[in-house]
Amino acid sequence: MSENLKICSGFRFAGVHCGLKAGDALDLALLLSDCPAAAAAVFTENRFPAAPVVCGRKQMAAGDKIQAVLINSGNANACTGDQGEIDVAIVAEVLAAALELPREQMFISSTGVIGEPLPVTTILRGVESLVESLDDDAFGGPALERAARAIMTTDKSQKTVGIEVETSLGVVTITGIAKGAGMIHPNMATMLAYLLTDAGIEPQILPGMLKRVVDQSFNRISVDGDMSTNDTVLTLANGISGYSLSAPADLEAFEKGLLKVARELSTMIVKDGEGATKTVTIKVTGARHLKDAEIICRAVANSALVKTAFFGQDANWGRIIAAVGYAGVELKPELVNVSFDRVRVVSGGMRDPEYLEADGAAVLRQAEFTVKIDLQSGEDEFTVLTSDLTHDYISINADYRS
């Protein structure tokens, strides 16, 4: 965790091992605000939403303020029927009693294996340990690190970001933690992300702001084209800083800060993609409509053939052109150009006459690079961050449950 990480005032953290994972791996996390916080969330669009997602949607619809977030890894509590929601309620009630807070202010998240009943007894044993670790020494630092580790599944590293935002009233802080490495696909990804701030934001403003931020960050990444049942991005604003932001300029500055945190977390997720060795920016420009640019961009970013070529450092631009062509967007092939960083590969829908295969391969040997696809038909553009697809991805997912 970076020494420069900014930790929000008024939030405490804990992470423990309760027995959901083998060995002594951390598997239960708690994020606690010192007062009820305005909340907004964006959830998966998967038609099989996990029980915590179903319950979380109801909380957001009711306009509940949130003070505590409990996250377990190792079990998704998805496809568990009515019992799954009952189990969420049981965990929330026990947590509320332990914290001496209202039940409706408890927010529950899960991530892990789908289709297995939630080991409620195991989790409840861990709740006491979590609450006991929330002492004054747990502010930020190692406690935040433990919470970030406790929500990981196939992640290789924890993901935390914290920044300060200057406003006309004073400085406010935004701290974010996230998990995600596989089943990463727009709308959203197999990830959990929590964006915390000590700024005061009116509850009616937060949902729209968060949706805009998610659309420009977590919804613009792809690892493998699979969408999880548990995806959740939750933001909490507790106002502990004493600065309630209402002026348009202050809200704009805050939203830019929130987007910065979300984008950094999104990038960490792609770089930590299961087995990934490359982080690739796919940028489509010159589209007649924004939707056209998005469709083509996602087709290329999610193509297994394109992603395996990235892994093999094979400058096979034909796979990219094929993905552009099957995306279903009306275009003029004779206008399309493709570049790997600054190396022009395709001009007018054909191999650029000056392109050398060695130059393209040199770009693909880099850990990070950009593929630019210029349609030369308009002014709109769209960008997605993706990764390569490797042998390790297969190995990880072939025995995920073992």
CA angle 248, 254, 260 (to 5 degrees): 140
Take residue 144 and report the two structure tokens written for it. Answer: 């935040």
Angular region, 27: left φ>0, alpha ψ -120 to 50, beta rest? alpha
Give, to the nearest 10 degrees, the angle between helix 317-326 and helix 304-312.
170
Return the half-sphere exposure (C-beta side, CA atoms, 13 A cut-off) of residue 42.
25
Give, to the nearest 10 degrees, the angle between helix 81-99 and helix 120-132.
20
CA angle 121, 122, 126 (to 5 degrees): 110
CA angle 280, 286, 288 (to 5 degrees): 125
Take residue 374 and report the two structure tokens written for it. Answer: 């210029």
CA angle 21, 27, 33 (to 5 degrees): 170
Sheet-wide strand order for 337-340: 221-222, 380-387, 279-287, 368-374, 337-340, 343-347, 350-351
* Backbone φ, ψ for residue 188 (5° rounding): -110, -125
- The catalytic residues are 190
Q: CB of 88 within 8 A of CB of 77?
A: yes
Separation between Cα atoms, residue 379 and residue 93, nearest integer Å: 53
Take residue 73 and report the two structure tokens written for it. Answer: 């890894």
